[in-house]
Amino acid sequence: MAEPFPLSPSLWAATAPPSAATPPLGEPTRADVCVIGGGYCGLSAALHLAEQGTDTVLLEAREPGWGASGRNGGQVIPGLKYDPADLKAKVGDERGRALVDFAGRTADTVFDLIDRHSMDVPHVRAGWIQGAHTETGLSEVARRAEQWAAWGAETELLDRNAVARKLGTDSYLGGWVDKRGGAIQPLAFARGLVRAAQAAGARIHGETKVTRLEPRGTRWHVETDRGVAVDAGRVLLATNGYTGDLVPGLRRTVIAVNSFQVATEPLTDNLRKTILPEGHVSSDTRKLLLYFRFDHQGRLLMGGRGPFREPTGPDDWAHLERVLGKLFPQIKDTPIAYRWCGRVAVTRDFMPHLHEPAPGLLVDIGCMGRGIGLQTTMGRALARYLTSGQATDLPLPILPIRPIPFHGLNRAYVSAFIAWYRMTDGGVK
């Protein structure tokens, strides 16, 4: 696959506090657990393992937060793709209750960690608004708001006028507010997790790509491109949309699609007051959803799907810039300052997947687009499981690895679906 867009053009890389030192692995070492991948999942697992007294080493091919965790929209939204009733129907009543409880608390995990470790992460917890772009979308948000309210979440249903007032655009028919949601500077959060994990005793090495995994007796030999290896009791693979071929078939269990974003120059105070005046973050009910928010310095961000291939130039963001101008015509003369993208791993059933292809090798993959809370909370659950061995510590069952049939062809299908969804989602009014 072509080299993904580098981290440097992202807004987050330009505005995050500096990273702690994470030198490459320089010599062979032993650890109880070796975590591969320095995104939210791997970093949270390393932090919680170290806090439990487990000797942990984390290896990241680039710098921690280089993947989706440093490039995302920073919208902290609880829940999974499915609403509580659907989740219970999927996994059964008892397991479903535990899963809904897990999903409902994922935003809490993020904000609690930021507070508990006094992380230098710009954040605000004013709630998430999901705007409904069609009548079907309206019924969807009403059902969602009702179900989460029944689980104790603070929610509010918005009619057409209320949603227009809170979003600053009259493009939506209504919506709901989920007050558990909020905004973070995502790369700052990844870097905050690095510092917290290091303070707890985890060893974190950047610029260290794992090239091979081999079982040796009851342990794992984790080979790297640095010419040195880790001898680990257990391994957690948390490479998500950037998964390669370390575990046979794994990469083919997901479709890794790029999500694209733009950010404007900071808006004037007067313009700023006309959009999201109460500090919400927002995304909508489109299949190829649009998501937007302000950053902590008054830039307006807009995200959505782009071409399936890796971007080749600014034209690949042109559709988002058009959408921005349609939703918020008042900012049409404000220049775009940043354009970037990152990979989201989508599974066939739109659920995150856990695998244990061999004893002592645990895999987490498939985060969809809501992974800030999910992957941070999953990392904590995986840390517990790695020390307890109790499946009840996991929110989801461990599944066999089942590659998507004709995976290569699926890339073509996805491109076709993107084009189809774009058409059926309708334009922005």
Contacts of 365 (CB under 8 A, 6+ apart): 237, 239, 240, 243, 250, 253, 254, 345, 347, 352, 353, 355
Residue type, 405: P
How far apart, in whole angstroms, are the C-alpha atoms of residue 257 and residue 137? 24
Tokens representing 320? 């988002």
Residue type, 201: G
* Closest residue to ligand FAD in the complex (CB): 371
How far apart, in whole angstroms, are the C-alpha atoms of residue 97 and residue 388? 22
Query: Closest approach of Cβ 219 to ligand FAD, in Å?
Result: 19
Q: Which of 121, 197, 210, 271 binds ligand FAD (CB under 6 A)?
A: 210
Closer to ligand FAD by Cβ: residue 8 or 159: 8
- Find the binding residues for ligand FAD in span 220-239 (CB under 6 A): 238-239
Closer to ligand FAD by Cβ: residue 71 or 144: 71
CB of 61 closer than 8 Å to CB of 82: no
Query: Closest approach of Cβ 296 to ligand FAD, in Å?
Result: 15
Contact pattern from residue 53 through residue 72 relative to ligand FAD, giving x for each residue in contact according to CB under 6 A and a dash for the rest: ------xxxx---xxxx-xx
Query: Closest approach of Cβ 333 to ligand FAD, in Å?
Result: 26
Q: Which of 25, 41, 229, 247 binds ligand FAD (CB under 6 A)?
A: 41
| 3-state DSSP of 97-136 | HHHHHHHHCHHHHHHHHHHHCCCCCCEECCCEEEEECCHH
Query: Closest approach of Cβ 166 to ligand FAD, in Å?
Result: 18
Determine the interface stretch with ligand FAD among 162-170, 265-273, 328-336, 366-374 (rule: CB under 6 A): 366-374
- Find the binding residues for ligand FAD in span 375-414 (CB under 6 A): 375
Closer to ligand FAD by Cβ: residue 22 or 69: 69
Q: Which of 241, 304, 306, 395 binds ligand FAD (CB under 6 A)?
A: 241
Contacts of 96 (CB under 8 A, 6+ apart): 84, 87, 88, 89, 90
Tokens representing 352? 């995150």
By the criterion CB under 6 A, which residues form the site for ligand FAD?
Answer: 36-42, 59-62, 66-69, 71-75, 77, 209-210, 238-242, 244, 246, 259, 261, 291, 303, 341-344, 367, 369-373, 375
